[in-house]
Every structure is written in C-alpha cells, then in structure tokens.
Amino acid sequence: MEKTQNEKSGKTQKWNFSIHEKQKAIKYYNKNGFVGFYDLLTSKDLKQIQNAVDEAVKNKKLGYADDSIYPNQDIIYAHPVLEEYVKDPRICNIVRDLTGAPIELQHAKLNAKPLHSRTNGGIKWHQDYPFYPHTNFDLVACGIHLDDEDEGAGPLRYIPGSHKHGLKSHCKNGIFAKEFTGNEDLEKMPSELITCSAGQVMFHHSLTLHNSAPKVHDGQRRLIVFQYRAQDAVQLSGLVWNCTGYQVTPKEVHGLARFPDGTVVENRGWDGKLIDLFNRFKPMY
C-alpha cells in the first residue's frame, strides 16, 4: 500500500491516528469532538484529488483569490474524481462509525485561504451546526488537507470537548452573526492547534468549537470539506446546497426525522425533505 506524506514522515500527535487504531480514534473523537487519520488515504489518492482540483480550477469550475476567500461550493460537481471521493467507503465508514447512523451528504466545498493576503481568510470561533440547523446534532465534517501546513498557514484550532457543552449562540440582536457570540472567553480555554501534512484527513463534530487564523505567508492552504449528516437529521434552516441530501451510502431511513431526545416523527415531503415549489428557499445573503 502506498503511504501518505504524514505516514512517511512519522508525524504523530495525540489526535492523529492510524486507520489500524480506529477504535482508539473513535474513543478520542467521542471525548474531544475531533480526530485525525494520517493513513486513511494514500499518496496516490492525494495526487488524484490534487490533480482533480487543479483541473477544475483550469476549467474555471473552482478558483482561488489573492486577497479573499473564493466561494467554492458544491465541489462534487466540479470534477468526477471529487464526486467519487465523497462516497469513498474508507471515509464514509469512519463517518458512520462516528455518528452511529446511516449517513448522507449535507454539503461539499473547497476551503482555500487567500493566496497572498495576511489579513483576510481567518475564520472566527464557531460551531458548524448553527449555519444549517437540523433536527439532531449528528453531523460530521471531514476535511482532506491538500497542502502541508505549519503554524503560519492558518491551521484549524479546536477546543477539546466543546461538543459536549451544547449549542452556543451565534446571533447578535436576533441576527445570525456567522460566529460565536456567547459570553465565554474562548481564548482562555485550552485549545489544540491542528497542523497537518498533505493527505491528512480530519473529522470534527458539528458542535465542536473551532477557528482558524489568516495565513502569515504566501502559498496554498487548501482543505476539501465533506459535511455529512445522519439520514434522519432533517435540515430546519440555513443554506441548502445543490448536493444537500446526496446519497453516499445506500438509503436506509425514509421519511423520518429524529430529535435529540430520541423522538422520531414521520415527515411529509420528498423522502422526508422539504419541497420548494416556489423557490422560496433561495438564500437572501
């Protein structure tokens, strides 16, 4: 089997596991709300994904910006290789183990920090869940790192165990602020800076608090994000992507919505999803 750069370098962190240590990794995830695998994908996989992104950029289906974040959404439709990897069994089996439920896709994007800006491209403290609330919290983000990172690349920073502290406010005066707005001083809480090598695959819970700083040097910092959800997690509000509901594994749950207390309700709709007859759900901002 070909090895990733992470595996070749022998880089290990307490959050960084071999796929052969899956049960230990799941235990770590359940405690901390995030986990990484350095050998889930091979160097061949990484090269295929990098080439697919490069081709999509060349064909103007994806892009980079010098001083701002480029809106690379619905990337599984930008190149067939990206569509294949979103349903790769190695990735989907981990997500299913982390959620304990059948899964489907909620959205897919390429997070690419600005190529040159040293002030733009930072992401403030937030949880993922408030951006697209669902009937339960069983959503997991999978991040595939395409470039080697150091502390100056603007890597992710997590607050371990924050997924157990419940949903936090992300509103100011009743308006969604796109960032944590609670009273806690998150900068004083213990946190973990996640510097990754190209090929590293990270997973985090939808309630895990995280941020990232702007880059302090030029160059690429690209991250493929596949956001998965349990099949009985029904979206309540927020952005709906073209790929929302894309089936990455066989459909096992039909027309049901599960709530955090275990209540399950039958749902009217297209297999339990909202039907937008009049295009009312087009985002306003």
Residue 153 in contact with residue 218, Cβ under 8 Å?
A: no
Query: Considering Cα of 155, then 202, then 111, then 167, what sign does the dihedral take?
Result: negative
pLDDT tens digit string along 15-46? 999 999 999 999 999 999 999 999 999 999 99
Quote the pLDDT of residue 276. Answer: 76
The strand pairing partners of 140, in sequence order, are 205, 228
- What is the token pair recorded at 276? 């937008």
pLDDT tens digit string along 107-119? 999 999 999 888 8
SS3 76: helix
pTM metric for this prediction: 0.93
What's the mean pLDDT in 177-182? 96
- What is the token pair recorded at 154? 């603007």
Quote the pLDDT of residue 277. Answer: 79
What's the mean pLDDT in 162-184? 95
Give me the phi and psi of 93, to 5 degrees please: -65, -35
pLDDT tens digit string along 194-244? 999 999 999 999 999 999 999 999 989 999 999 999 999 999 988 889 999
CA–CA separation, 224 and 74 (whole Å):
11
Exposed, middle or buried: residue 97 (CB in 10 Å: 0-12, 13-18, 19+)? middle
The single-letter DSSP state of residue 242 is T
Q: Which CATH number fits domain 5-266: 3.20.20.70, 2.60.120.620, 2.40.50.140, 3.40.190.10?
A: 2.60.120.620
- What mean pLDDT value characterizes the chain? 92
Give 71-75 contacts, CB < 8 A, sequence gap 24+.
72/109, 72/110, 72/111, 72/112, 73/107, 73/108, 73/109, 73/241, 74/107, 74/108, 74/109, 74/241, 74/242, 74/243, 75/108, 75/109, 75/110, 75/224
pLDDT at 3 over 90: no
Residue-level length of the chain: 285
Which of the two residues, 271 and 192, has the higher pLDDT score? 192
pLDDT at 1 over 70: no
Which residue stretches of 33-116 are H helix? 43-58, 80-86, 89-99
Question: What ranges do the domains of the chain cover?
Answer: 5-266
